[in-house]
């Protein structure tokens, strides 16, 4: 109109629909897939756009009028939706990302395919056992992974879902793709006599595994540069250790929840590593607590020698790193046994340890001072010094048993603790004995010790 007024009877221009298809595909890819599919009712232009969206994203997300409720994915609703979505996607349409992160699936008794709770309407129905439902989900998830890698050529894959306490069983899934660059797998179980092999994923650079049960001979990838394995349980059999082979890795994060610590093969390109071994690890000995070990003849910690038939389990593979963080429950002996090998840490500049290095008259701490020729910063984190499990004390004056020069580059030794106590005094005595002055030592008394006895039941031994 000439005077600039808007005619309220004229429909507003649909500026969103006027955008190019590529932009709309990108916008839809940021939505959960069940929401993206619903855009097909917006108009003729939108009818098929979702079929070309470069992502599949089924996640637990908030809904409802006040966004206070979570989408109720069930085994049935999730399986039906993902199967139909993969079937109806445009053939040959590229897919950058597949994310199936629904957490714990709800019971089919309570929710129908639309997420509506039907208990009040019809009463609970008879369902297959939890184990059978877990097996059904594992079969479906395996099919989705194979489809995502071989048909959709996904570049990023994220899988995190389970039925109650049942992990996904992905033993038979072959990870093979020349396009995959990032893989994140949670709540899965790998149990076989073979190797979890990612070597056929030639472009894979980021691999993350969390809350997984890893009872296999090994994990292998020739291309992975960033490897993270956290809160995972390993095989506790004394006859074998899982071997980790990632020769191109530049960073490693490893957290052993239970079982035996894995054997780390050489990582020539490694720059930084963080390894934590928790209190359910099988590599433990009661002597580290000042207690009598009740299985001395069978305890690897009580035996003389190195960790595993004369070979280092962890430190040799980590020896090229410039930054290391090595922490464990004081009773875990695997780090201490590795120190007996005497591996030189030629590139190490930054090091963080906790109380495990103070057992046996601080022998492990002395090893790091001796075998780290260019060490610049040392942090000692006393997590257990106010805990009944500490029991690590050096009595009397500590005298050096060998002469060596501590790294001339060592600028600071930082001691973190809840409060200064006898253990801190013993640490200071050892450091002083090896030529480290008080001016180089900084004590921080604000450390909040972690809690190791309050894990959620879903992560305990009844989590299959």
Running along the chain, 464 residues long, what does each successive block of 10 average in pLDDT? Answer: 54 74 89 91 88 89 52 84 91 88 74 46 57 89 93 94 86 92 96 92 97 95 98 88 97 96 97 94 70 53 53 95 95 92 95 90 92 95 61 50 74 88 86 90 79 41 54
Q: What is the pLDDT of residue 269?
A: 97
Q: What is the pLDDT of residue 385?
A: 56
Q: What is the pLDDT of residue 305?
A: 44
CB hemisphere CA count around 289 (13 angstroms): 15
Contact 441, 410 (CB under 8 A): no
Contact 264, 318 (CB under 8 A): yes
Q: What is the pLDDT of residue 266?
A: 96
Q: What is the pLDDT of residue 106?
A: 77
- Where do the domains of the chain lie? 18-191
Q: What is the pLDDT of residue 390?
A: 44
Report the Cα 75 to chain-centroid distance in Å.
Answer: 25
The 3-state secondary structure of the chain, one letter per residue: CCCCCCCCCCCCCCCCCCCCHHHHHHHHHCCCHHHHHHHHHCCHHHCCHHHHCCEEEEECCEECCCCCEECCCEHHHHHHHHHHHHHHCCCCCCCCEEEEEEEECECCCCECCCCCECHHHHCCCCCCCHHHHHHHHHHHHHHHHHHHHHCCCCCEEEEEEEECCECEECCCCCCCCCCCCEEEEECEEEECCCEEECCCCCCCCEEEEECCEEECCEEECCCCCEEEEEEEEECCCCCCCCEEECCCCCEEEEEEEEECCCEECCCCCCCEEEEEEEEEECCECHHHHCCCCCCCCCCCCCCCCCCECCECCCHHHHCCCCEEEEEECCCECHHHHHHCCCCCCCCCCEEEEEHHHHHHHHHHHHHHHHHCCCCCEEEEECCCCCCCCCCCCCCCCCCCCCCCCCCCCCCEEEEECCCCCHHHHHHHHHHHHCCCCHHHEEEECCCCCCCCCCCCHHHCCCCC
Q: What is the pLDDT of residue 271?
A: 98
Helices 359-371, 422-433: inter-axial angle, 10-degree rounding: 40
- pTM flag (> 0.75): yes
- The Cα–Cα gap between 390 and 373 comes to 29
């Amino acid at each position: 109109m000439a005077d600039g007024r808007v005619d309220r009877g004229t429909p507003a221009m649909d500026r969103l629909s006027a955008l190019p298809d590529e932009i709309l595909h990108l916008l839809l890819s940021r939505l959960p897939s069940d929401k993206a599919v619903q855009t097909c009712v917006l108009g003729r232009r939108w009818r098929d756009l979702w079929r070309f969206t470069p992502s599949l994203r089924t996640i637990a997300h908030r809904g409802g009028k006040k966004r206070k409720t979570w989408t109720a994915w069930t085994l049935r609703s999730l399986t039906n939706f993902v199967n139909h979505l993969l079937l109806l996607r445009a053939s040959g349409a590229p897919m950058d990302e597949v994310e199936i992160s629904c957490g714990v699936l709800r019971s089919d008794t309570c929710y129908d395919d639309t997420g509506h709770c039907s208990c009040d309407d019809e009463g609970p129905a008879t369902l297959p056992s939890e184990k059978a439902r877990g097996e059904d989900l594992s079969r479906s998830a395996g099919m989705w992974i194979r489809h995502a890698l071989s048909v959709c050529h996904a570049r990023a894959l994220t899988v995190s879902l389970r039925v109650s306490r049942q992990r996904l069983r992905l033993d038979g899934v072959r990870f093979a793709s020349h396009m995959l660059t990032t893989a994140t797998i949670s709540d899965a179980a790998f149990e076989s006599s073979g190797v979890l092999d990612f070597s056929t994923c030639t472009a894979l650079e980021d691999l993350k595994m969390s809350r997984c049960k890893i009872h296999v001979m090994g994990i292998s990838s020739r291309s992975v540069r960033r490897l993270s394995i956290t809160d995972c349980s390993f095989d506790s059999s004394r006859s074998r250790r899982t071997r980790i082979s990632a020769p191109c890795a530049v960073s490693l994060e490893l957290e052993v929840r239970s079982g035996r610590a894995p054997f780390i093969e050489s990582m020539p390109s490694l720059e930084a590593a963080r390894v934590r071994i928790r209190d359910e690890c099988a590599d433990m000995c009661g002597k580290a607590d000042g207690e009598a070990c009740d299985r001395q003849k069978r305890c690897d910690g009580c035996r003389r020698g190195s960790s595993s038939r004369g070979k280092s389990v962890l430190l040799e593979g980590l020896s090229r790193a410039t930054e290391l963080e090595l922490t464990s429950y004081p009773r875990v002996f695997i780090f201490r046994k590795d120190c007996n090998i005497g591996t030189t840490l030629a590139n190490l500049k930054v090091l963080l340890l906790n109380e495990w290095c103070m057992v046996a008259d601080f022998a492990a701490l002395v090893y790091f001072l001796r075998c780290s020729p260019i060490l610049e910063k040392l942090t000692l984190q006393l997590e257990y010094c106010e805990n009944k499990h500490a029991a690590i004390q050096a009595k009397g004056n500590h005298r050096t048993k060998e002469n060596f020069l501590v790294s001339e580059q060592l600028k600071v030794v930082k001691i973190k603790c809840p409060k200064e106590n006898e253990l801190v005094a013993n640490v200071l005595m050892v450091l002083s004995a090896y030529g480290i002055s008080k001016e180089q030592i900084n004590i921080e008394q604000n450390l909040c010790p972690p809690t190791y006895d309050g894990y959620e039941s879903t992560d305990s031994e009844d989590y299959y």
